[in-house]
Structure formats: C-alpha cells, structure tokens
Amino acid sequence: MSYFSELSRQYIDGRWQTGSGSWDIVDLNPYNGEKLASFTVATGKEVDQAYRAAERAQRSWGQLNPYTRRLVFERALRIIEDREQEITEAIVAELGGTRLKAAFELSLSKDMLRECMQLSLRAEGRILPSPVDGKENRLYRLPVGVVGVISPFNFPLFLSLKAVAPALALGNGVVLKPHQEAPVTGGTLIARIFEEAGLPGGLLNVLLTDVAEIGDAFLEHPVPKVIAFTGSDTVGRHVAQVAAGHFKRTVLELGGNSALIVLDDADLDYAVDAAVFSRFAHQGQVCMAANRVLVDRSVADEFTERFVRKIRTLKVGDPQDPQTQLGPLINSAQAEAINAQVDQAVAQGATVLLRGSTAGTLMEPVVLTDVADQSEILRRELFGPVVLVVPFDGEEEAVRIANDTPFGLSGAVHTADVERGVKLAKRIETGMIHINDGTIHDEAIVPFGGEKSSGVGRLNGEATVEAFTTVKWISIQHGRSRFPF
C-alpha cells in the first residue's frame, strides 16, 4: 500500500476525515524535496471532537479485562513485523533516515509493543493497614482517562508509540498530535496499525495541525488529564506552564547535550567507535547524542587522530542507499541553523579539525576543538552532525565540564576500571549514563528521562504505570466507627 496517499487525513472517532482548516500541511521527502502527501489542517473543532471521542470510548475500554486489552498489542506487533519493509520505506522517505536507522527504530517499536502486552496487567492495587480497628484500606490503580501526546520528528514511530501504546494498554484513551515533518510515520500510520489490530474506534485519535491554527487548544482542553510531550526544551517549558495552569500532569522528554567521557585508561579504539555512533546516528538528530566528547589530555591527541580518521570514512548521501550512514537533515532550515552555530564557534576561536560541505539538507560531518569556555555551542543541543572534542585534566575537570550545561539527559564514561566509571558517572547530572558504551539507549523496562532542562518525569516500565494511571483510596469500615460527636 502507499502509506502517503492513503493516510493523508485526520483520524477522529474511528473515522478518516479531512480537516476543516483553510490551509495544508505538506509532507516532503527531506532528501529530494518530493511531495509525499498533504493534510488539510485540523481546527479547534476537530481537537474537541477527538478529545470527546477518546473520553467516550475510554469508559468501556478502561473497564475491559486487561487480558482482552493485551490482544490488541499482540496483533499490532504482528502487523509491524509483517510490514517491516513497507514501514522501512516510509521512514526512509519521510525522515531521510538510513536503512540502519529504520531498523533501529523498528526494533525499539517492537520491543515497546511487547512490553505493552505485559503492561496491561501491571496496574496493581494494594491493601494497606489502618490504625482504626475494622478498617480496610484499598488502593486501586486506575487509568487517568485521556492522555494527549505530542511527538517529535526524529524517531516518530517509536517516540509516538512510547507514549501512545502504554497509555492505551493501561486503559486510557489517547489523542496524538505528531510533528508536521512526520505526520505519517509519527501519526496516521500508527492509527492504521491499531485500527487493523482491532482497537475500538475513538480510543486513538490523530490530529495533523499546528499552533498557528489551534493555539494552545490541544493543551488547554478540559478532557486530557496528562500531556506527554517529546521535543525541545523551549516548547516543553511552554507545555509545562500551560498544563500546570489547567492542573494537568505532564511527562516531558526534552533535549540533551550529552558528554561521552574518555578517561586515561580507556580502550581508545572502542571509545572512538562508541563516540562516532553516539554523535552521528541519524545525522546527530537524536536527543541522547554525544554533542561533546571529553577526553583526558594524556590521550587526547591519539584519540582525536583516530576519531577524525574514522569520521572521514562516513558516507553521506541518499538514505535509500544501504551503504549510506548519514542521510539528510529534516529540512534545509535545520542545516542552516547548525552551520550558523559552527560559524559562531569558529569566530570565537574554535579550531576546525574537519568540516565538510553542506548542500541543501545534506551536511557532512564537522569536528571542532579548542572551543572557548564561554561559547554557547558547548551548552546547547546540537541537532546535526557536529561534534566538539574537549580535552580535560583529571576527573574533577571532566565532571565540571560535563555538568556545565542546562541539560542532563544521557552520557557515557569509558574506562578500564568499571567501578571508577560508576563512581564518576554518579557525579554527572543526567537521568541516564552508560559505562563503556554509547550514549544512545532506550530499553522498554528501564526508566527513561532526564534532569534539569532535559525533562520532567520518566517513561518505560513501572515509570509508565505511574505516568498514565492514578491512585484511588477506598476504605471499608467493617463494623461501626465511633465518632467524637
């Protein structure tokens, strides 16, 4: 099937329909500029329709036997497995993702659906003791009701499913607003998968729209109790403020500025491999990417020479080519913004070790060192193929540099002494950090999230249960209570 021709509509209350807005979102292939699809935008009217549909459908879904709910996720998994080739082609076309990236995203997505089969059964209650004779305290864990999900463009299939699927598994309804650059793989494709998997109509709704059309209606609507947002810290801050003003809970998975730290006893060849993948996977458009590679000065020259040599071998080009390792950035504006950051750093004294050319959305790798301490590029997220090599003198300086950023998502430490690495890792202000590995990891049962401006809350495993359920206390008095008057 042609996903782009068949899935270019809104999905509301179990029906495919055209938005009622007066303009279109155009979905383009970032490599060649080909028009893939266009969507007439949803308006505030459709936002209300979608949330009301989810609210109605959730009432019976939340009461359904969880063993019955889990069957939907079993079928959704089989659908993805049966259509991996078609979905791969969609990821390559819509995102400019390489085939390696598509395989990675599909693997994560399938693991998430497998986890959701078990997650359906994890909303466990408790019975607590009471100081009152004859009283029984029951704690019931119940669905929150409806969850609003806003997903990004970089890993849209997985990062949409990461919130959508667990929320549904735990008995909630969902309204999903995917990024405009990924409306199919991050939105309507997911609706089609769950539709075919037998999810009752109305439980999952997908809206293709923009704040220029709906303002904050998606966040302010009275129905959703939780807003799950993945994206930039700037937008995430706005989401948090609006949601808090309406007494909604938020789960915010935001940007990063991860450091991969190479200590003086590290296996340098292995650290080079980890650093190259951690920085250049999906052209650096990964929130966990290692923007900064911190290297002990005693091994910095040797490491840097090997690091740059390997980066020179990376093939940049057509993501359809299985040999391509770096495809296009999501749009030319992103490439221009990244190059402007590099220009500014160079003007402030940074040394260029490698800088390829940029042609439209294709940007060859950039390696900088001697970056000035006050340079903004050291502290911000770099969503492109640019890496900063920063020498340090001793562990204290490594910790100071690693923590000198508003972000705190991921990181890595390379050392021959694992416990030395763990001791250092505990001092790095991140939600996640990995010893002798890369910075890019996500496992379905391990809590995922960041510190500082990298987000609020966690997803995966038990953290997801906390995020998308609420606790209700019901007490039972066996016998008669005594009241003071």
Active-site residue (options: 105, 253, 381, 395): 253
CA 449, CA 399: separation in Å to the nearest integer? 20
User: If you search the block for the tokens 């940074």, which residue do you land on?
Assistant: 350
What string of DSSP letters covers 421-440?
HHHHHTTS--S--EETS-S-
Residue listed under structure tokens 């091994």: 299
Query: Positive or negative CA dihedral for 437, 441, 447, 448?
Result: positive
Sole residue written with tokens 């001697």: 370
Q: What is the residue type of 351? A: T
- 302 given a catalytic annotation: no
Please report the beta strands in 203-332, taking only residues with DSSP state E, as ranges in sequence order: 204-206, 226-230, 249-253, 258-262, 290-296
For residue 122 the two structure tokens come to 């994890």
The continuous run of DSSP H or E covering 50 comes out as: helix 44-61
253 in active site? yes
The CA–CA distances, whole Å, from 222 to 147, 157, 215, 246, 263 equal 11, 27, 15, 8, 51
Which two three-digit tokens encode residue 17?
Answer: 């329909």
Catalytic residue among 94, 287, 381, 395: 287
Residues 6+ apart with CB under 8 A from 211: none
Q: Can you point out the beta strands (E) in 322-452?
A: 351-355, 358-359, 362-363, 366-369, 386-392, 407-408, 411-414, 434-435, 451-452
**How long a stretch of residues is the chain?**
485
β-bridge pairing 469-477 and 135-143 = antiparallel
Q: Which residue has the tokens 């791969």?
A: 88
Question: Rounded to an integer, what distance in angstroms lies between the CA atom of residue 142 and that of residue 469?
Answer: 5
- CA–CA gap between residue 129 and residue 134 (Å, rounded): 10
How far is CA 103 from each of CA 45, 74, 87, 331, rounded to the nearest angstrom?
Answer: 37, 20, 10, 22
Indicate which residues carry an active-site annotation.
253, 287
